[in-house]
Chains A and B, each alone.
Chain A
């Protein structure tokens, strides 16, 4: 894992040196206990905990960019690890009664570690709030990374279905209307075929950003499949949703999209439809929305022909 070491080389080195120093100190001051008096239960318990902490540290460093929050969490976990390691060293090395610093080495870092960890988690929480603000219009109330689409940073069909289910319940209890918009890019297969799949993927990403800019605070955009998107609009009547849908189609039509390689201008357009939820389940609502889109596509096809 080169990135792990490149980013956090100093931190890992410090941890290694400090734990090594602690062990050396133990070995130089005391003498080894005979095998017969080793307390295996303590060894497994303390050693296992130290190992797990090491794994946590690894996962933490692997999953987070460097920064203040990472430093705090690392320092906290590092202190806990050190304290457990000293505890473990105690099991193998008998200290003379005149030495009292070993108790300090064992117990001192523990509370410090917990305080640092608490601080770290608190700031992590603040950081998460900041990130959530950036996820506006892309997720609501519920996070499940497994349901996220890998191409566009949006929730996929499963996430969408859960969200519709939740929104329907909420709409019923609050006696508020709920509407959905479906958006489908016209002739998307032509872009894929003529300009390649990479270009098609980029079109999807650009459209995603464009639509996100056009949404209100509480609207949610998800990618249903392929070039088809669905927007959940709580507290919205069908007529309002239809107006938003129309605006979205217009904004896509006016987008001056240019291809990656040649910078060629591609004229994009999308078909959008809106429906309001009646007394029905998420599946049923989605199916009705999809049927309406199919009709809309057919009519536009006839009109162009």
Chain B
């Protein structure tokens, strides 16, 4: 824990992952590593988008994929920096099975001075059989506490 970047990653997991939106839907951060984050969302009535079938609303999945991409970017940096989502593309592969947890894994694939690129998957049984796949692009709005450009770990 003496590694500053490790402390930053842990605080990210504690703080950034606990947004009111995530808390309100009973979501949680499972694990954060450098440039990688995993979250879990238990099934509940709150996330239902189709009352006939009980299938989760696509927007819920979008929200957690966005969160996971953002955490993957944040944890890829040597020091804290703020950034904003430029765009997010979601491909919905299949409906989420009602009653089962949703898992999300996000990965930061590239960080430049201005921009970060991330990918994330939503799945239930296996990450190789995804419910949805996200591609996100983020823009840095600050360059970190020491005035250094954002860099990957």
Pair from one complex: no
Q: Identify the A interface with B (CB < 8 A).
A: none
